[in-house]
């Protein structure tokens, strides 16, 4: 078997294995707090009300909500797998985007094809969101597909691919408004494509410029109401403004490591490696431009396109924070920066691919592939998710009550922290024997609930009337039973 076919089969195998893992997580991880509003509230609204943000909550990731509403209508069920299916399927879109990028940047017969593909896929923090009912996985997949079309647009000089990239960037930001900065970067790259293609001929630039302008104005008109509603209720207050590095880059590296050391213990060292790869790409581009006599034709190279998209996205984000005084993106809201950087890394491997040496390239490719597989095996957890991790024991608590307490129905009171996960299952009537008591933001010592589920820190307030009977998650949370 030649290396081209080997790469194809290995790629399909990797996509298949990860998809199975995502399906497992989607079935076995309970609905989390931030997922709750979509099936219980948002999809009950009309399509127009969803698009116009009848509820001002930023958890209404519009495109994701619309897809969930469609899937619930088609399948006739609000089962958690159905709710999470749009994001699971979006991982397949993500895989298509990875294949399209690597096919251009590396070629299918490259030793680096599989290592680069794996690096796109082995971030446990990113994979979490492909198995949840949120907009983050969907938006990341659409963003990467947009990058793939922009890369092919420049490389093959296809105008249609430019428009596809721009359209996909709109969809990516419609799945999650934090990607508006990415849409801004893609808009600039689309206009720049026509500028270098027409050689700065202003007359020929008028038509594509007007099309870009009209498309963007129409999109702005569509999203103006949701953005203004979010702004009016101060929905951006959850983020901070300590600087792009400390708010965005460093936390994303930390979360992507998932508590594992990998090669280096400190995340700052990985930051140096990341900046080094970006700098190497910039130097490579400048050297090739200089050797070509500053010919604009070299600006069609994937190394330029991927690096420019990443840096422009970061720049638009920084300028937005400075001018509009919005906080920096953090954690899940900055998640799309990961595939953007890996596309830069793939283009970095692309120009390394040109170096001679029969053993160096396969040896380096093998090391990178092993590191990627090891990181996924070491950090990917089937029954845990970083975001809203406090909800992952919902099934365990219900199972314990069902097995240990035979008298049904039985009442349960929970801390506000856990309430929404349990409330989803009350809403779909999954456990008809379980009576969930009303929501309270503080511990209610006067409740008549048979069981009370609280963080360990709140247990003392209930000790006079309740006793601990179950301790999930290393005793961080406690299930208590009325004495």
pLDDT digits (tens, 9 = 90+) for 290-328: 887 787 778 889 999 999 999 999 999 999 888 877 888
Residues 268 and 291 occupy one common structural domain: yes
The answer to whether residue 387 sits within a structural domain is no
**Residue 241, Cβ neighbours under 10 Å: how many?**
13
Query: How are strands ordered across the β-sheet holding 466-470?
Result: 434-436, 410-414, 451-455, 477-482, 466-470
248 and 364 together in one domain: yes
299, β-bridge pairs: none
The backbone torsions φ and ψ at residue 258, rounded to the nearest 5 degrees and listed phi first, read 60, 40
Does some domain include residue 412? yes
Distance CA(294)–CA(39), nearest Å, equals 55
Alpha-carbon gap, residue 96 to 108, rounded angstroms: 14
Task: Let me know if residue 385 belongs to a domain.
Answer: no
51 within 8 A of 60, measured Cβ to Cβ = no
CA angle centred on 276, ends 273 and 279, rounded to 5°: 155
In a domain, 117, yes or no: yes
d(CA 144, CA 131): 18
**pLDDT value at residue 262:** 64
CB distance 165 to 150 below 8 Å: yes
Judged by average pLDDT, the poorest of 185-194, 356-365, 458-467 is: 356-365
pLDDT top residue among 14 and 237: 14
* Tens-digit pLDDT profile for residues 210-235: 999 999 999 999 999 998 888 776 66
Quick one: pLDDT at residue 241? 65
Identify the domain containing residue 429 by its residue range. 393-482
Query: What's the rounded mean pLDDT across residues 144-163?
Result: 97
Q: Is the Cβ–Cβ distance between 236 and 229 less than 8 Å?
A: no
Same domain assignment for residues 326 and 462: no
Of the residues 348, 379, 410, which one is the last residue of a structural domain? 379
Question: Has residue 405 been placed in a domain?
Answer: yes
pTM to 2 decimal places:
0.94
Identity of the highest mean pLDDT range in 157-161, 283-287, 472-476: 157-161
- Indicate whether 192 and 63 sit together in one domain: yes
pLDDT > 70 fraction of the chain, expressed in percent and rounded: 96
188 and 68 part of one domain: yes
Residue-level pLDDT at 236: 59
Structural domain total, the chain: 2
Task: Say yes or no: 363 and 400 in one domain.
Answer: no
Computed over every residue of the chain, the mean pLDDT equals 92
Largest CA distance in the chain: 84
């Amino acid at each position: 078997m030649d290396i081209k076919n080997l790469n194809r089969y290995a790629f399909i195998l990797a996509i298949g294995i990860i998809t199975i893992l995502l399906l497992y997580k989607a079935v076995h991880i309970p609905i989390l707090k931030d997922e709750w509003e979509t099936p219980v509230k948002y999809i009950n609204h009309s399509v127009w009300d969803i698009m116009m943000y009848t509820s001002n909550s930023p958890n209404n990731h519009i495109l994701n909500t619309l897809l969930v509403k469609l899937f619930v209508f088609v399948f006739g069920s609000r089962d958690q797998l159905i709710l999470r299916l749009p994001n699971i399927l979006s991982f397949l879109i993500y895989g298509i985007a990875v294949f399209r990028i690597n096919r251009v940047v590396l070629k299918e017969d490259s030793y680096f094809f599989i290592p680069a593909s794996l690096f796109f896929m082995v971030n446990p923090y990113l994979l979490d969101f492909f198995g949840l009912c949120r907009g983050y996985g969907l938006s990341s997949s659409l963003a990467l597909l947009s990058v793939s079309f922009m890369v092919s647009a420049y490389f093959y000089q296809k105008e249609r691919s430019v428009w596809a990239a721009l359209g996909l960037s709109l969809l990516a930001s419609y799945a999650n408004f934090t990607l508006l900065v990415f849409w801004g970067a893609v808009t600039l790259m689309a206009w720049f494509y026509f500028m270098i293609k027409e050689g700065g001929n202003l007359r020929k630039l008028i038509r594509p410029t007007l099309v870009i302008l009209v498309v963007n104005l129409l999109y702005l008109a569509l999203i103006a109401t949701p953005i203004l509603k979010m702004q009016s209720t101060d929905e951006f207050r959850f983020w901070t403004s300590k600087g792009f590095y400390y708010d965005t880059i460093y936390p994303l590296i930390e979360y992507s490591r998932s508590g594992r050391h990998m090669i280096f213990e400190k995340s700052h060292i990985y930051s140096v490696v990341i900046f080094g790869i970006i700098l190497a790409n910039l130097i490579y581009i400048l050297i090739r431009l200089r050797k070509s006599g500053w010919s604009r034709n070299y600006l069609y190279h994937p190394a330029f396109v991927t690096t420019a998209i990443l840096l422009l996205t970061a720049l638009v984000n920084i300028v937005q924070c400075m001018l509009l005084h919005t906080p920096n993106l953090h954690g899940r809201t900055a998640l799309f920066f990961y595939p953007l950087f890996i596309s830069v890394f793939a283009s970095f491997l692309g120009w390394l691919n040109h170096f001679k040496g029969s053993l160096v390239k396969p040896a380096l490719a093998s090391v990178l592939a092993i590191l990627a597989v090891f990181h996924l095996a070491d950090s990917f957890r089937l029954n845990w998710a970083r975001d809203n991790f406090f909800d992952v024991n919902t099934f365990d608590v219900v199972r314990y009550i069902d097995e240990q307490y035979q008298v049904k129905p039985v009442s349960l009171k929970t801390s506000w922290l856990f309430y929404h996960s349990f409330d989803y299952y009350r809403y779909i009537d999954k456990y008809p024997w379980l009576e969930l008591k009303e929501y309270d933001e503080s511990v209610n010592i006067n409740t008549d609930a048979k069981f009370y589920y609280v963080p360990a820190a709140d247990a003392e307030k209930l000790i006079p009337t309740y006793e601990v009977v179950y301790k999930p998650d290393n005793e961080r949370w406690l299930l208590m039973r009325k004495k």
